[in-house]
């Protein structure tokens, strides 16, 4: 009998990694989940806890602890190992520590013969995703960062709450850096096809005084709103990552704003940026180029510039 199992590896079994594994397991997304952490006892503890779920789920997913040499047959490797920002630190402040951790992970994974798709969650995610692409030598479609996928979910929540609709009926993308410089191309935001600008015009009593710039700021700051209250964030990004993994493993061609290497799209080159991407079994298969206004494009380019500057810095560590 030939088997065609789907295997997802989670590297880093902290709050984000274990939540991602839990979400994968409860949604029955893949056949196998392999957990890897520098702290082997932590990885084993998570594995034992996760295995206890299977009896009451719809699917018998195999969950086990492994090492980098067991990564050769993985379809997707999710990297969540890293140093989460402490109070007062920006995501970019964690760059040096994350660079060192990333180097120690990617080399042994590539030595295992891995030729699947890397999904990077570790911050600063755009820069680490680019670093992994360089370190691994894999084609750009095989190295993806979660980018602004989580920010876009937050943005859609805020818009939906304003106009009292399901956030999944809102088409809106936050783009650029997963960080303070991200931007929203408001001219392309629609609700079930109706431009958001028309909704503002037609519903002055509901959204007439909405301040779009502060909505973008609120989106960028939402992580801190959570962190200031509970110390860190994990459920949102874990579920976001599983959305991306489903799109890849199930060959969905779903468009999600993730971080990918731009090669001329939006007039940008050699920078990993959050943009709408078609996701399927090949990974990041295509970039959707939204038509932006001149002002929106300027903002996008400013955000790309921030990422590019830090990407150059990571090479120095
Ligand atoms: P955590 O401290 O709970 O877990 C990190 C885990 O990584 C720990 O279990 C640690 O032992 C492990 N680790 C450290 N060095 C390692 C190495 N060299 N090899 C293997 N494992 C190693 O942190 P967390 O809250 O899970 O956050 C993880 C990362 O995710 C951080 O970089 C954080 O900033 C990022 N994050 C990203 C987003 C996003 O939207 N992209 C959202 C939230 C968190």
119 lines ligand 1 (CB under 6 A): no
Q: Give the catalytic positions in this structure.
A: 178
- Regarding predicted confidence, which is higher, 236 or 95? 236
- Distance (Å) from CA 254 to ligand 1 centroid: 26
Per residue in 168-181, pLDDT (tens digit) is 999 999 999 999 99
Sign for the pseudo-dihedral over CA of 233, 90, 148, 184 = positive
For residues 85 and 212, membership in a common domain is answered with no
For residues 308 and 282, membership in a common domain is answered with yes
The domain of 265 spans 149-314
For residues 141 and 157, membership in a common domain is answered with no
pLDDT recorded at residue 83: 75
pLDDT recorded at residue 2: 54
Number of domains in the chain: 2
* Atom of ligand 1 lying closest to residue 82 CA: 32
| 253 within 8 A of 279, measured Cβ to Cβ | yes
3-state secondary structure at position 28: coil
For residues 124 and 271, membership in a common domain is answered with no
Per residue in 107-165, pLDDT (tens digit) is 999 999 999 999 999 999 999 999 999 999 999 999 999 999 999 999 999 999 999 99
- Distance (Å) from CA 3 to ligand 1 centroid: 32
* Boundary (domain end) residue, out of 145, 174, 203: 145
pLDDT recorded at residue 91: 65
Q: Is residue 199 part of a domain?
A: yes
Q: Is residue 120 part of a domain?
A: yes
Burial of 166 (0-12, 13-18, 19+ CB in 10 A): exposed
Question: Which domain CATH number covers 230?
Answer: 3.90.110.10
* Boundary (domain end) residue, out of 100, 117, 145: 145
* Atom of ligand 1 lying closest to residue 13 CA: 9
For residues 239 and 120, membership in a common domain is answered with no
Per residue in 189-215, pLDDT (tens digit) is 999 999 999 999 999 988 888 999 999
CB contact burial 48-87 (16+ within 10 A = b; e otherwise): eebeeeeeeeeeebebebbebeebeebbbbbbbbbbbbee
For residues 220 and 203, membership in a common domain is answered with yes
Give the residue, out of 14, 230, 274, with the most ligand 1 atoms within 8 A of its beta carbon, to mutate for a pocket test. 14
92 lines ligand 1 (CB under 6 A): no
For residues 182 and 294, membership in a common domain is answered with yes
| Minimum CA distance residue for ligand 1 atom 4 | 14
For residues 210 and 275, membership in a common domain is answered with yes
105 lines ligand 1 (CB under 6 A): yes
| Minimum CA distance residue for ligand 1 atom 41 | 121
| Minimum CA distance residue for ligand 1 atom 13 | 81
Paired tokens of 307: 């990422």
* Boundary (domain end) residue, out of 96, 121, 145: 145
For residues 172 and 299, membership in a common domain is answered with yes
Q: Is residue 1 part of a domain?
A: no
Region class of 235: left (phi > 0), else alpha (psi between -120 and 50), else beta: alpha
Q: Is residue 2 part of a domain?
A: no
pTM of the model: 0.97
| 79 within 8 A of 119, measured Cβ to Cβ | yes
42 lines ligand 1 (CB under 6 A): yes
- If you average pLDDT over every residue of the chain, what do you get? 95
For residues 197 and 310, membership in a common domain is answered with yes
pLDDT over 70 at 3, yes or no = no
pLDDT recorded at residue 95: 85
For residues 182 and 229, membership in a common domain is answered with yes
For residues 85 and 52, membership in a common domain is answered with yes
Q: Is residue 241 part of a domain?
A: yes
Give the residue, out of 34, 67, 68, 84, with the most ligand 1 atoms within 8 A of its beta carbon, to mutate for a pocket test. 84
Per residue in 247-293, pLDDT (tens digit) is 999 999 999 999 999 999 999 999 999 999 999 999 999 999 999 99
pLDDT recorded at residue 51: 98
- Distance (Å) from CA 40 to ligand 1 centroid: 15
CA distance 72 to 241: 21
pLDDT recorded at residue 73: 98
Question: Which domain CATH number covers 46?
Answer: 3.40.50.720
| Minimum CA distance residue for ligand 1 atom 19 | 38
Q: Is residue 72 part of a domain?
A: yes
pLDDT over 80 at 79, yes or no = yes
Per residue in 218-240, pLDDT (tens digit) is 999 999 999 999 999 999 999 99
| 169 within 8 A of 199, measured Cβ to Cβ | no
Reference 82, options 38, 116, 51, 113; nearest CA is 38
């Amino acid at each position: 009998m030939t088997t065609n199992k789907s295997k997802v590896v989670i590297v880093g079994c902290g709050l984000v990694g274990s939540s991602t594994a839990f979400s994968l397991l409860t949604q029955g997304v893949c056949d196998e989940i392999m957990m890897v952490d520098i702290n082997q006892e932590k990885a084993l503890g998570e594995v034992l806890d996760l295995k206890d779920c299977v009896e009451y789920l719809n699917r018998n997913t195999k969950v086990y602890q492994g090492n980098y040499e067991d990564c050769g047959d993985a379809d997707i490797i999710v990297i969540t190992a890293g140093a989460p920002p402490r109070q007062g630190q920006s995501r970019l402040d964690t760059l040096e520590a994350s660079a060192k951790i990333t180097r120690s992970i990617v080399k042994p994974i590539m030595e295992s013969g891995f030729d699947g798709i890397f999904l990077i969650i570790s911050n600063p995610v755009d820069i680490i995703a680019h670093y992994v692409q360089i370190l691994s030598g894999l084609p750009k479609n095989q190295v993806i960062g979660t980018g602004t996928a989580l920010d876009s979910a937050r943005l859609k929540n805020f818009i939906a709450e304003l106009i009292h609709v399901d956030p999944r009926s809102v088409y809106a993308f936050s783009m650029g850096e997963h960080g303070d410089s991200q931007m929203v191309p408001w001219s392309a935001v629609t609700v079930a096809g109706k431009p958001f600008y028309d909704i503002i015009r037609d519903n002055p009593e509901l959204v007439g005084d909405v301040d779009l710039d502060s909505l973008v700021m609120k989106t960028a700051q939402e992580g801190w709103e959570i962190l200031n209250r509970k110390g860190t964030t994990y459920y949102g990004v874990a579920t976001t990552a599983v959305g991306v993994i489903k799109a890849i493993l199930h060959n969905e061609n779903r468009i999600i704003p993730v971080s990918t290497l731009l090669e001329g799209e939006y007039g940008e080159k050699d920078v990993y940026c959050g943009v709408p991407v078609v996701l399927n079994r090949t990974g990041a298969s295509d970039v959707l180029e939204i038509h932006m206004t001149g002002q929106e494009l300027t903002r996008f380019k400013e955000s790309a510039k921030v990422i590019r500057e830090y990407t150059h810095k990571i090479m120095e560590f």
